Structure 1
Amino acid sequence: MPDLSFFLPGSGWAASGAGAMLEINLDAIAANYRLLNTRTDNAICAAVVKADAYGLGAHRVAPILEQAGANTFFVAHLEEGVRLRSYIAPTAHIFVLHGPMPGTQAEFTRHDLLPVLNSMEQVAGWHAHAGKTGNPLPAALQVDTGMSRFGLSDADVATLEANPDLLDGIDTKLVMSHLACADTPTNPANAMQRDHLRAMAARLPAAPLALSASSGIFLGPDYHFDLVRPGAALYGLAPNDDASNPLRPTVRLGARIVQRRTINAGDGVGYGLTWRAAGPRRIATLGIGYADGFLRHGADGEGCAWLGDYRLPILGRISMDSTTIDVSDVPENVLAQATHVDMIGPRRSVDDVARSAGTIGYEVLTALGSRFHRAYLTQVA
C-alpha cells in the first residue's frame, strides 16, 4: 500500500482547495548546508538565496540557514537584498551579485548591503559614492576568468593596477569569479579559471578569494579558496552526474486527483489528441499544469507521476491547469483511497524531472509557481 499520509491534516491542504501542494523540508536544507560546510575546509561557506531561495521562499529558508551556521548570503538584485535584510540578523553579510545600478548606491549603504562590482562603471560609481560619504565602503570585485559573463576583464584589472587611485574609498572584502564548467569535473576549463583567478587577484588589493558555487565545492580543496557560495546544492540538486548525489532532497510536490475516467481504444487525450489509447485505459486528471511551473516540454515522453511504487505515465500535453496520467496499473482499492500523486518525491527527483524536460534542476525549482499550497517542515524551533 503506498504512503498516503504525505498531506498531513495540519498542513491545510484539504481546506485550501489548491490543485497541488509543495512540501519544503527546511531541516533537509539545513542538513545540506552543514554537509557542504564540512567539505570546505577552512573556507567560509556562504549561502545563495537569490530568486527567492530558488523558488522555495527566502523568508523561511534564510533564517534556517542562519541557524545552521551561515553568516554570509548572496542574492542577485538589490531588491532581493533589501528583503533579505529583514529576515536575518543585522550582523549577517549580504552580497548583491549584480552590483549597484546607476543611482542605487545609497540604497546599498542604507540597508548594509555589499555590492559585487562587475565593471569599471560600477567601480567608478561606488568610488564616487564613497567619496560623498567620506568613508571607505565595502564591496567585492568580480573578475572574468573565462566565462565571459560578469566581471572585470584582464584589461580592466590592468587599468586598476596602473591607477590604484580608482579604488580609493573601496574596501575590497572579496575578489571573486565563477566557474563555467564545474559540473564537469574533468573539464580543463576549471583549472584554467582557477589559475586565472590567482593571477588576476595578484594585481588587485589583497582580499579573500572566492571561485566555487555548488558544483565547484566538489572539485576539491584547490577550488575552495577563502569562501564558497553554494546555491543549488542547498536545495538538493546533484552537483554533477559523475557520482551519486550526497545531498538530501528538499521538496516534494503532490498533485490532487481531480477526476478519474475510463477511456476506450482509439480515444485521444489532451490538446491536439497527441496520445491515443491502444485499448481500454483508466486515466486521472490532476490539478497541476504549466501555469504552476510544471514544465510542459518532454512530459508526454518520459514524464510521469508516482503513487507509491506505481509509475503513472503522463498522457498527452500538459495543459495550463491540468495534467492527465495513466492509472491503469494501480489496483482500484488503492486508487480509491488516493487523493494525490507525487510529481516530485521519493521516486522522482527534481533532477529526474529536469532530464525528462531537457533542462536542469535549477529551472525546475525556480519555475515552481505560487498557486501551490505550501507546507514547511522543520523540527527547529
Structure 2
Amino acid sequence: MAQKGISPGLYPSCSVMRCDVAVIGAGPAGSMAAKHAARTGAETVLIEEHPSIGHPVQCAGLLGVQAVEASEIPLGSAALHPVCGAAVWSPGGRILRFNASRVRAWVVDRRLFDRALAVEAVRAGAILQVRSPVRRIRAQGDRMVLDITGGRSISARVVVTAEGVMARIARQAGIGPSHVVLSGAQADVPFQVEDAGRVEVHLGVSPGLFAWVIPTGPASARVGLCAEASACQHLRRFLSSPPISSRLLGSPLGLVFGGLPMGPPDRTWAHGAIAVGDAAGQVKPTSGGGIYPGLVSARIAGRVAAEAALAGDNSASRLSEYDRLWREEVGRELVVGMRLYRLMQGLSARETDQLLELLSRPKVVRAIEEHGDIDRPSRLVARMLPALGWSSLELVGLLRLALR
C-alpha cells in the first residue's frame, strides 16, 4: 500500500517515480478513481497540474442527490443550499415553474467539494502530486511512462486519465474524442434572487444547450450557458437581456469558461490507459452535468485499473472491462440524453414554446415535480408519457424513440 501523503512534486529532477496506477487530474472523477485504486491495494499516484485542488472552477456546481450519494462523502461546508424547484423560460418568454416536495439537488462550493474528494483519496493511500503537468504518455516495456514538466517522470502499469475535456493525454494513448464539444461560459454575479431554492433554465438563448441561473446566496448567482461556439459572446448578450439585466445588482465578479464534451467515444480504453469523466465524454447531454456519471465511472475505473496492474496485465483487452461496466451503469442515460439533446436541437423557437405549453398541463407538472431527476432523466421521460395524453401523439412518439 502506498504511503499516505501529499507531495508538491518536488522529488529530484530526472528521477522516475514508480507505482501501480497513476491518475491524471484531481477533479472529482480523478480523486474518486485514485481512492478506489488505492483501496483495491494498488500503489497509486494522483497527479494534478495546478498548485491547489479545486481551482480553477469549471462547473456550475449543481449536484443532484444521486451525485451527492455517489461522492461517498458528506457535503458539510461545501453545501451552499438545497434546490427543490426550477423555472424554465421559453424563447417566447413563457415561464414554467416546478416545486418539488423534497430536495432534488444541492448548490455546492466546488473548491471545497473537490478538495474533500482529494483528501479521501489520500486517506485511502494515494499519493497526491500537485504542480505536475503531464506532457506526454509513452509505453516502455510493460509499463506506461508519464513525462512531467521539469524533467520528472512517473512509471505506472496503468494510467487513468481524468484530465478534463481537452483530454490530450487520452488522445496520445489512442482514446478517441467525444462526439460533440460545446463552448461554455459562466459568471458569478450580484443578483436579485427571488427563491434560492429554485434554479432557472432559459431555452433558446444560444445554439447549443441552454442558459442557467443558479442562486448561490440571497443576493448572488452563477449565470452561464453552453453554445456551439463563442459562449462568452452569447453570455454577454444574455447578461444584457431584460430577464437578467433587470435583476443584476452589480458587475460580474468572475468569469470562467471551458468546453463541455457530450457523447462518449466508441471506446474509453487503450493499452495501458483508460479515460474517465470529461476526458471520456461522460457528461449528461440533457443538463451538461458530468459529476454523477463521472463519479460512478471513476469508482469502476479505479478498481479495474488496480486489479489489472496488480495482475501484471495492462492489455487493452483486460482494460476493456472498464468500458463494459461503466456503460452498464450509466451508459443508457448518456445515450438517451444524447437523443433528447438532438431532439431539442431540432426544434424551432415556436416548437419549443409549444413544447412548454404541453409540459404545463397539471398532470405533467405533477409528474415532473414527483419524479424529476437530473441524474436519471430517462426515468422522468418514462413517467411523463402517460401524462401527456393522446392529443400529443407526435411528441409521445419522439420521446418513445429517444428511450429505445
Q: TM-score, normalised by structure 1?
A: 0.28
Higher helix proportion: 2
Higher strand proportion: 2
Q: TM-score, normalised by structure 2?
A: 0.27
